[in-house]
Structure 1
Amino acid sequence: MTFNELIKLCKPLDVSGPEPEKLGPLTQDSREVGEDSVFIAVKGFEVDGHMFIENAISKGASVVICEDSYYSDEDVCIIEVADTRSLVGPLAQAFEGYPARELKIIGITGTNGKTTVATLTWQLLMEMGGARPSLLGTVAKRIDDKVLDSLLTTADPIELARDMRSMVDANSTHLVMEVSSHAIDQKRTAGFDFSVGAFTNLSHDHLDYHESWQEYAKTKKKLFDGLNEDAWAVINQDDEQGKFMALDCPAQIIDFSFKKPITYDCKVISNSSEGLKLEIEGVEFESPLVGTFNAYNVAEAIFICKALGYEFTTIARALANAKGAAGRLERVESEHPEKQPTVLVDYAHTPDALENVLSTLSDLKTEKQKLHVIFGCGGDRDKTKRPKMAEVAEKFADIITVTSDNPRSEDPEEIIDQIVLGFNADTEVSRISVRKEAIEHAIAQADEHTMILIAGKGHETYQEIKGKRHDFDDRKVALEALKKRNHNSKTGEVA
């Protein structure tokens, strides 16, 4: 990257100060600034990067890119632009040598199912051959044979560009990524094009950020409005927002439905605890995933691969080995499962997602089984969904325990107070605010005819309390509780 190339990309309103002798790495975090760094000040949702310009200069930044006349310095090049947020993505790609141009990028958006669809798509591409896919999402980053922790559903543009460079250097040909509404609104995906955009569904979530349902939907639609004519859009038309997402979309569209005749109509042939069997265009697809909501996730992944040029018969052969994402209806099994309750962990943290999972388990349980749900709600997030979660739990579960999720800065007891407002007065509910105790108590009291769903955190390996992340994994806590229960049953001890 030369200084002239930088100026050309920035299209500045004004440039002051000396031309730098050297351009170091691009960063929007002043804590990462080093000698000759290019610091771009971005107005964030909570923090304005312009507040840290002096700090960046003191640490050695050779160029500062900012908005308006925030700063001037005789010793540092100051580039003033109209909108730094729109610029950071294209700049990040340029600094890394435009790695996105060497990848087919598949972006998956929606409220629920993003992680499952992305993981299934990645697994299918791995299984079918002809591609070397990487994966970016909520659970993990997968670059070649490396698995890295993922802190955000969609990373910031600079991290994205660096990840893409690592993928290209590892000979990846495809990138499958989840795209959150926050990322779209904050233009984290600016600077590169998607080969395929996929829409799963839209339900109650993130209204603390978007303020209204309409704004939430409009934000999701921006992904499809931004596709080019050579790209594909895969749209679930059984969701009421499907038509809106497809409206005026310039890409080639694959519509699918399980309820009505459309471009591709899908059928569920069977849905049991053993998995799903679907039929599309006369081809049968078998998946180990269960539940109607997963039928949509499986179909979405199938059609993404179809858009990429794979035949249905090839996809069908690969699907049996695609297991989906960790922490999505993941069963926790001890070494001695006899006379133990069935324990499942799922990421469901919205009313719609919880209903999908609970309704599935309610249909699959035997006559003797009782369904026990353990759930909470995250702090510092949309409070209006809290009583709605209670209504869903009450509708499907036989036994209910309300606990904490990631309380963040809020008091866990106050969050639970707001959840329980959604229950009928005569509904029996246990409230145990310490999540570990809630899980242990439920498993200790259960018998072999109990199915326990631990909802809300899924794959997460931490619990966020008062600004700190503490090691916590629902699956590990549940497994230890099952082991203890099994030990107590053999020794005759009472848990």
Structure 2
Amino acid sequence: MNLLKDILYGVSLTAVSGNTNVMVNQIHFDSRNVEMDDVFVAIRGILTDGHKYISKAVESGAKAVICEEFPELLVNGVTYLKVSNSNSALAIMANNYYDSPSKNLKLVGVTGTNGKTTVSTLLYNLFKNAGYKVGLLSTIKVMVDDQEYPATHTTPDVLAINRYLSLMNEEGVEFCFMEASSHGIHQKRTEGLHFAGAIFTNLSHDHLDYHKTFAEYRDTKKKLFDDLPKTAFALSNSDDKNGGVMLQNTKAKKLTYGLKSYADFRGQILEKQFSGQLLKIDDNELWTKLIGDFNAYNLLAIYATAHILGLEKMEILQLISELETVDGRFQYFISKNKITAIVDYAHTPDALKNVLITINALRTGNENVITVVGCGGDRDKSKRPVMGHIASEMSDQAIFTSDNPRSEPPMEIIKEMEAGVEPQNSNKILSIEDRRQAIKTACKLAASTDIILVAGKGHEAYQETMGVRVDFDDFEEVQKALTNLNK
């Protein structure tokens, strides 16, 4: 039990009805989870408004309600607290409830359109291999040192974040690396957290279904840096045109990394092939199994962060050379008849383009590139024709298929992708609604030494159609299809 007024410390209240000097149990923003003496926070979400469920929460035993608008009926014995923003209030309350767990470790946020998962996961792996107790909050999974928990969002809800950070405190975790999505930042899920630093990877077209304009999307990412304390570091990609924007108003120590422009941490690609690439970082050469320009940027950000956090230069380089590819991020294998299959999470135009640039740069001349790609339903529609254009322009054969259609008809999504295909590329595309069949077709079309890219879902082990999730793993599917060809 906690004293309500202690949990509310730092929350700006605009009206109070009832007593704050009462003991309460847990905090919830989902009325279905409320039990006796809990606190219910009414959140205005994208699909539903928590204010509609205040009475249900009270019936379930809520002792206090946090809301932006009081309900018509105020029940005796229940404390109602009005705030201007319920998301902000929830963030502060979660931090208080779990006794500010982020202050007891070095929390580093990673934001940007692409590379968040790779950078945060590989930082976790690097520090773990260096012998530290480490935490990870990512799209793929949540790690509390060695204990794994399933991930549900790129950035978990703020109660879950603080709960995991509290568990990390109990386990003696020293460093935690956390993906900070634009949705998470906008919905105040990172508010109230004490960051030791933040990393900006890059910015390109994504999530405009949610943010409406690119400027709003950019400025949401920027808020992570704007809110950093002066004791923190702000590390930004100097080669990205928005890299400087991220650092404009931050109070943190400003640092940069880049392959092309002047930066505090400089890198260079000396050699690249499918088995890896040779990099030069701060005048030292190292071989890495991670390939592509985008991974050179990711590794440079990882090197810079580890250096800032106190690891020795040569130790960092050694640890980077041992890092393996993150699941679903340029994950590849070569079949018995020498067909190379690559699975990548590329679900934005920029990510797809970067992966195809990398593949085309590694071609020796005669291989065909066959790309299997779709676009998610109920998401930014404006990127669909762009994705279709890139796949058809940069591949010898493109197969448009379903990604996670969610509530949209798959063929309508595919038609919107087809709209971006130039007339001269129309003979290079096939449209196959069923993703499994699309992958099988790509494998049948491929000859020895050809390259198949299956893009969009990466690590995801499911496909969602009309609210139904079924098991589906791109890497397993393409492996199975190529293996069956050899039988």
Aligned partners of 1:377 and 1:404 also within 8 Å: yes
TM-score by length of 2: 0.96
**Corresponding residue number in structure 1 for 2:351:** 353
Select the residue among 382, 385, 396 that pairs with 1:384. Answer: 382
> Secondary structure of the equivalent of 2:326?
coil
Aligned partners of 1:196 and 1:307 also within 8 Å: no
> Secondary structure of the equivalent of 1:135?
strand
Letter in 1 for 2:478: A
> Secondary structure of the equivalent of 2:189?
coil
**Corresponding residue number in structure 1 for 2:118:** 116
Select the residue among 88, 92, 96 that pairs with 1:90. Answer: 92
**What's the offset of the Cα at 1:340?**
4.5
Counterparts in 2 of 1:205 and 1:19: CA distance versus 1, 3 Å = closer
> Secondary structure of the equivalent of 2:375?
coil
Aligned partners of 2:236 and 2:257 also within 8 Å: yes
**What's the offset of the Cα at 1:236?**
0.3
**Corresponding residue number in structure 2 for 1:492:** none
Aligned partners of 2:266 and 2:300 also within 8 Å: no
- In structure 1, stretches of 5+ residues that fail to align are 488-495
Counterparts in 2 of 1:366 and 1:68: CA distance versus 1, 3 Å = same
Spell out the pairing of 1:234-253 with structure 2 (5 A cutoff): 234-253=235-254
TM-score by length of 1: 0.94
**Corresponding residue number in structure 1 for 2:127:** 125
Matched, 1:444 2:444: yes
Matched, 1:416 2:414: yes
Alignment root-mean-square deviation, CA:
1.5
**Corresponding residue number in structure 2 for 1:254:** 255
Spell out the pairing of 1:156-175 with structure 2 (5 A cutoff): 156-175=157-176
Aligned partners of 2:258 and 2:300 also within 8 Å: no
Which whole-Å CA distance do the structure 2 matches of 1:11 and 1:423 have between them?
52
Matched, 1:342 2:330: no
Which whole-Å CA distance do the structure 1 matches of 2:423 and 2:213 have between them?
30
Aligned length: 483
**Corresponding residue number in structure 1 for 2:108:** 106
**What's the offset of the Cα at 1:332?**
4.0
Aligned partners of 1:20 and 1:77 also within 8 Å: no
Aligned partners of 2:9 and 2:96 also within 8 Å: no
Which whole-Å CA distance do the structure 1 matches of 2:333 and 2:57 have between them?
48
Q: Once superposed, which parts of structure 1, at least 4 consecutive aligned residues long, lie more than 4 Å away?
A: 18-21
Aligned partners of 1:237 and 1:255 also within 8 Å: yes
Moved more, 264-273 or 431-440: 264-273
**What's the offset of the Cα at 1:138?**
0.8
**What's the offset of the Cα at 1:448?**
1.7
**Corresponding residue number in structure 2 for 1:299:** 300
Which whole-Å CA distance do the structure 2 matches of 1:262 and 1:344 have between them?
32
Matched, 1:484 2:484: yes
Letter in 2 for 1:432: I
> Secondary structure of the equivalent of 2:230?
coil
Which whole-Å CA distance do the structure 2 matches of 1:383 and 1:282 have between them?
44
Which whole-Å CA distance do the structure 2 matches of 1:117 and 1:371 have between them?
27
**What's the offset of the Cα at 1:455?**
0.3
> Secondary structure of the equivalent of 1:286?
strand
Which whole-Å CA distance do the structure 1 matches of 2:137 and 2:81 have between them?
32
Which whole-Å CA distance do the structure 2 matches of 1:346 and 1:486 have between them?
24
Which whole-Å CA distance do the structure 1 matches of 2:179 and 2:84 have between them?
29
Which whole-Å CA distance do the structure 1 matches of 2:9 and 2:347 have between them?
45
**What's the offset of the Cα at 1:19?**
5.8
> Secondary structure of the equivalent of 2:65?
strand
Which whole-Å CA distance do the structure 1 matches of 2:107 and 2:197 have between them?
7
Which whole-Å CA distance do the structure 2 matches of 1:146 and 1:478 have between them?
30
Task: Give identity over the alignment, percent.
Answer: 38
Which whole-Å CA distance do the structure 2 matches of 1:272 and 1:441 have between them?
27
Letter in 1 for 2:79: C
Moved more, 297-306 or 76-85: 76-85
Letter in 1 for 2:437: E
Which whole-Å CA distance do the structure 2 matches of 1:224 and 1:299 have between them?
19
**What's the offset of the Cα at 1:17?**
3.4
> Secondary structure of the equivalent of 1:256?
strand
Aligned partners of 2:348 and 2:387 also within 8 Å: yes
Letter in 1 for 2:89: L
Which whole-Å CA distance do the structure 2 matches of 1:195 and 1:17 have between them?
38
**Corresponding residue number in structure 2 for 1:205:** 206
Deviations 1:268-325 (A, max 9, x none): 2222222122223222233210011111011011111111112221100111221131
Spell out the pairing of 1:367-382 with structure 2 (5 A cutoff): 367-382=365-380
Select the residue among 75, 96, 100 that pairs with 1:73. Answer: 75
Aligned partners of 2:3 and 2:22 also within 8 Å: no
Aligned partners of 1:63 and 1:77 also within 8 Å: yes
